[in-house]
Amino acid sequence: MKKTLTSLAMALTLLSPTALFAKNNVVVVATGGTIAGAGASSTNSATYTAAKVPVNVLLDAVPQVQQLANVSGVQALQIASESITDKELIQLARQINELVKKPDVNGIVVTHGTDTMEETAFFLNLVVHTDKPIVLVGSMRPGTALSADGPLNLYNAVALASSDSAKGKGTLVMMNDDIFAARDVTKTINIHTNAFSSPWGALGSVVEGKAYWFRDVSKLHNNSSEFNIENIKGDALPLVQIVYGSDNMLAQSYLALQQAGVKAIIHAGTGNGSVANYLVPTLTKIQQDGIQIVRSSRVPQGFVLRNAEQPDDKYGWVVAHDLNPQKARLLTALALTKTKDAKELQRMFYEY
């Protein structure tokens, strides 16, 4: 008996982990971007057309992903991500929401252009209720270029989406071996493959198909979010736009947006989301007219401190805390589907 058990144990250790456990099912939802891009020659790493290659070709180029999981693909969009509007964002979230509800789907990979990947990741983080991993991935070089980064990024993304260790960690971005949280990742270099970073650091790394974790996200996301794609009607969000701060600004920029019918303006201010003294009358008037003013910062690290530099309590303004202007736009738009109260909006900025 003892001998039988020993040989059984030996046989089990000789088997690979994938032979011991059934593989998870991962759906790759393709949306375009450079990871689906093609250039004229292998030295065209920056001159190419994005959103060309269909999902089946992307998957066939990295057959190794099938060793990690049972991988299937769907073509949701074929677009360069700078052209994504709320319409595509809502449509994509609905499609992913239906996929994660399927019992035989264990994880999602979204291939995406890197330009607005952080926006899509944050939106999914806020509106898709699931603990299944949703992992966004892209590349900085098209597949036709020398040292294309897409194949390994895709391999790592499938590894992450099929890993039970990624469950409940929030929507993730997988780029250049790093695992980032959707809420704080941002594109910081537009010419190199280490294009993404977070002011608070990566959550972990994927090395040789295994995820290693070093921190967790402390903010609400996915299952714990009060927003839900199932409650969003139509194909547009309340209109929110961003004004970029600098010296020598024009009040007309804000007034033109008011004319255009915005419901909120994200002021991407200097420093602590500062507002020039000559703009204060315009921004307080606009707020009194019922348009939310959210102070964020053009500075990529740190956070905007409430009632510092400007008396937010007095003016009824909101601070974006550490969310960058483009993420503040999305959270504000979602918040406005539920409330018009600046205090409620402020609570959300602290909680997400």
Binding stretches for ligand ASP (CB under 6 A): 33-34, 50, 80-82, 113-115, 138, 140
By beta-carbon proximity to ligand ASP, the closer residue of 115 and 312 is 115
Tokens encoding 287? 């707020």
By beta-carbon proximity to ligand ASP, the closer residue of 113 and 170 is 113
* Dihedral (Cα; 151, 152, 154, 159), 10-degree rounding: 140
With beta carbons less than 8 A apart as the criterion, state whether 286 and 279 touch: no
To ligand ASP, the closest distance from the beta carbon of 38 in angstroms equals 12
Give catalytic status of residue 49 as yes or no.
no
By beta-carbon proximity to ligand ASP, the closer residue of 137 and 333 is 137
Quote the CA–CA distance of 126 and 202 in Å, as a whole number: 19
With beta carbons less than 8 A apart as the criterion, state whether 309 and 272 touch: yes
Catalytic member of 31, 111, 114, 186: 114
To ligand ASP, the closest distance from the beta carbon of 101 in angstroms equals 28
By beta-carbon proximity to ligand ASP, the closer residue of 123 and 352 is 123
With beta carbons less than 8 A apart as the criterion, state whether 152 and 207 touch: no
Quote the CA–CA distance of 25 and 66 in Å, as a whole number: 10
Give catalytic status of residue 337 as yes or no.
no
81 is in an annotated binding site: yes
To ligand ASP, the closest distance from the beta carbon of 138 in angstroms equals 5
Chain residue at closest Cβ approach to ligand ASP: 113
By beta-carbon proximity to ligand ASP, the closer residue of 59 and 80 is 80
| Helix or strand run (H / E) with residue 17 | helix 17-20
297 is in an annotated binding site: no
To ligand ASP, the closest distance from the beta carbon of 350 in angstroms equals 30
114 is in an annotated binding site: yes
To ligand ASP, the closest distance from the beta carbon of 50 in angstroms equals 4
Burial grade of 19 (CB within 10 A; 0-12, 13-18, 19 or more): exposed
* End-to-end C-alpha distance for the chain, whole angstroms: 57
Quote the CA–CA distance of 143 and 266 in Å, as a whole number: 36
Binding residues are 81, 114-115
Active-site residues, by number, are 34, 114
Binding residues for substrate are 81, 114-115
